[in-house]
Amino acid sequence: MRAVVQRVSRSAVAVNGEVVSATGRGLLVLLGVGLGDTPEDARYLAQKVAHLRIFEDERGKMNLSVLDVGGEVMVVSQFTLYGDCRHGRRPSFERAAGQEEARLLYGLFMDYLKEQGVRVAAGVFGAHMQVELVNEGPVTVLLDSKKEF
């Protein structure tokens, strides 16, 4: 599984022009599920996201997690994180998981975040969404359960 994690002051997801989910301070996670990903990958990434220390403490050092600051996490499915652009000009998505497998692991990822004590909001799986965010910092990190980076 892959995740683009952004520290935000707020985020919102709209479908067909209607806001379906919104958060305040916290994280926006764009989550991609790849072929061969398992519930263990979802658990690993959820634990990493919940405890990732990318919020500043009183000294301005990134020492606090979303849990420490009482923030929320917006999770948006994004199969395009598995786009392979090495050949040609059109991405290949052969390494992205199929829709049903991805939907299951997307749900498990959010369940595992909730088990960590994180307040979770979500986009609509498989929908065409408009995602708004205000990136704080900016702070953006990439995570991969397979540690390929």
User: What are the residue numbers of the active site?
Assistant: 78-80
Pairing of strands 55-56, 119-122: unpaired
Tokens of 85: 């652009």
Tokens of 33: 């599920």
Residue 54: other Cβ atoms inside 10 A: 20
Give every CB contact of residue 7 below 8 A, 6+ residues apart in sequence.
Answer: 26, 27, 54, 55, 135, 136, 137, 138, 139, 140
CA atoms within 13 A on the CB side of 128: 2
Judge whether 91 and 28 are in contact, CB under 8 Å: no
- Token reading at 47: 């634990």
